[in-house]
């Protein structure tokens, strides 16, 4: 048990990911306000993006720009650039989803005059 705890504390990035993910998930499940649900959803997306970036970090490594063009490339001295590229795409996807979500929220508010899930469900009955 203590070992597991220590192992977790040595990887604060994983711990942070788990906290943000569960926090976002909790907001999505428990809040009735649709915009708050969207905020929770955005936190979940962000946590996964954070996880993806954090696995590319290396100790003592620098930017993925070649220091010298003549010597053979030492992979250990550069941070991994691929997760950053993936992250950019994932952020774009996240922004698009949030945009559609906000547009839907706006349309729901104009139609039902409320953003509260329970009030809307009452009006739907």
Partner 1 sequence: MSHQLPAILFLLPLFAAISMPVVCLKHRHWSHPIAVAILAAMVLVSILNLQNVIHHGEVRYVFSGWTVPLGIEWVADGLASVIIVLLNAVCLLCVVFTGPTSPKDLGGRIVHYYTLILLLVSSTTGIVFAGDLFNLFVFLEVAAISSYALIGVAGGRALFAAFRYLILGTLGASLYLLGVSYLYAVTGTLNMSDMVDKLPLLLNSKAVLGGLLFMFIGLGIKMALVPFHSWLPEAYTYAPDSISPILASLVTKVALLAWVRIIYWVFNASSIINDVPILLLVEVVGTLAAVIGASLALAQRNIKMMFAYGGISHIGIILIGISQGNPTGFAGGVFYLLNDSVMQAGLFFLAGMAFYQYGVRTIDDMGRVGKQAPWLTGSLIVMALGMIGLPPTGGFFGKWYIILGALEAGNYVSVAAVLLSTLLTLAYFVRLFEAIFSQTSTRLDVQSGEIPLSFKLTLGVTSAAIMILGLFSSPIIQLLLSQALPPTL
- Residue 49 in contact with residue 87, Cβ under 8 Å? yes
- By C-beta, is 52 or 79 nearer to partner 1? 52
| Residue from 16, 23, 28, 33 binding partner 1 (CB under 8 A) | 28
Q: How far is Cα 14 from Cα 81, in angstroms, rounded to an integer?
A: 19
**Alpha carbon 28 to chain centroid distance?**
14
User: With respect to partner 1, which residue has the nearer C-beta, 62 or 81?
Assistant: 81
CB of 104 to partner 1, least distance (A): 5
Q: Which of 13, 62, 77, 89 binds partner 1 (CB under 8 A)?
A: 89
Alpha helices in the chain (DSSP H): 2-9, 12-30, 34-54, 82-112, 117-124
| Residues of this chain, 56-75, that bind partner 1 according to CB under 8 A | none
Q: Which stretch in 3-11, 65-73, 105-113 sits in contact with partner 1 by CB under 8 A?
A: 105-113
Does 18 engage in binding with partner 1 (CB under 8 A)? no
Nearest-angstrom CA–CA distance, 28 and 37: 4
């Amino acid at each position: 048990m203590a070992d597991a705890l220590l192992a977790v504390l040595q990887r604060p990035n994983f711990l942070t990911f788990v906290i943000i993910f569960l926090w976002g998930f909790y907001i999505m499940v428990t809040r009735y306000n649709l915009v708050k649900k969207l905020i929770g959803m955005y936190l979940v997306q962000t946590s996964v993006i954070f996880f993806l970036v954090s696995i590319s970090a290396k100790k003592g490594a620098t930017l993925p720009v070649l220091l010298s063009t003549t010597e053979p490339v030492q992979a250990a001295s550069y941070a991994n650039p691929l997760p950053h590229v993936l992250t950019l795409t994932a952020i774009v996807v996240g922004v698009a989803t949030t945009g559609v979500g906000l547009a839907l929220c706006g349309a729901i508010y104009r139609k039902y005059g409320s953003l509260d899930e329970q009030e809307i469900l009452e009006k739907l009955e």
